[in-house]
Amino acid sequence: MYKIIIKLEYEYAHRLIYHPGKCRNLHGHHGKAIVELGANTLNENGFVMDFGDLKSPLKKWIDEQWDHAFLANENDPLLTPLQAEGLKIFIFSQEPSAEVMAKRLFEEVTALVLPTNVIPLSVTIRETCTGLAYYEPRVIE
Ligand SMILES: [Zn+2]
């Protein structure tokens, strides 16, 4: 199998409302999304697919939805006053952890129109220099 990996960067704020520690506080990160796709065969250019055809729509989505946004749990009491201020907010039905972001971005990758031989493999979200969360649609047994 061949793999390609693209990286996208963005800035965001979030907090984990049920976390007993410091992640409960509103804080920001320089996030990095790492998207992996695979194929058993290459196209006529010798590519899994053109990096640009993958990067452009995902960068657009991240820029519009997550970059410089508050990523929020739908139950966060801060939502109402921040919405009243007209701030950029992306709402999750659960805690906006790096794991949840990884799965959400993976859903965006699978929603793209990809060449038929290309399979989305995983999304990694780098939240800090020392902490990454990884999602792939495979059950650990
Ligand atoms: Zn955080």
Specify the pLDDT at position 138. 87
Percent of all residues in the chain with a pLDDT value above 70, rounded to a whole number: 100
pLDDT digits 0-9 by tens, 29-84: 999 999 999 999 999 999 999 999 999 999 999 999 999 999 999 999 999 999 99
Specify the pLDDT at position 139. 83
> Residue 103: left if φ>0, alpha if ψ -120 to 50, beta else—which one?
alpha
Domain count, the chain: 1
Specify the pLDDT at position 23. 94
Specify the pLDDT at position 141. 82
Residues 4 and 14: their CA atoms lie apart, in Å, by 29
Q: Mean pLDDT, the chain, as a whole number?
A: 96
The two three-digit tokens of residue 111, written as one number: 């929603």
Q: How many CA atoms lie within 13 A of 80 on its CB side?
A: 2
Specify the pLDDT at position 128. 87
The answer to the question of residue 11 being in a domain is yes
- Structural domain for 27, as ranges: 2-135
Q: Which residues contact 23 (CB under 8 A, 6 or more apart)?
A: 15, 16
State yes or no: pLDDT of 140 exceeds 90. no
Specify the pLDDT at position 75. 98
Distance 52 CA to ligand 1 centre (A): 29
The answer to the question of residue 140 being in a domain is no
3 state DSSP class of 111: helix
Q: Which residues contact 73 (CB under 8 A, 6 or more apart)?
A: 16, 17, 91, 92, 93, 94, 95, 96
The answer to the question of residue 30 being in a domain is yes
3 state DSSP class of 80: helix
The answer to the question of residue 77 being in a domain is yes
Distance 15 CA to ligand 1 centre (A): 6
The answer to the question of residue 101 being in a domain is yes
3 state DSSP class of 130: coil
Burial class (CB in 10 A: 0-12, 13-18, 19+), 33: buried
3 state DSSP class of 95: coil
Q: Give the residue-averaged pLDDT of 117-127.
A: 96
- Could you list the active site residues? 23, 68, 127
Percent of all residues in the chain with a pLDDT value above 90, rounded to a whole number: 94
CATH code at position 113: 3.30.479.10
The answer to the question of residue 92 being in a domain is yes
State yes or no: pLDDT of 129 exceeds 90. no
Distance 79 CA to ligand 1 centre (A): 17
Distance 1 CA to ligand 1 centre (A): 34
Q: Which of 130, 129, 125, 86 is nearest to 108 (CA)?
A: 125
The answer to the question of residue 141 being in a domain is no
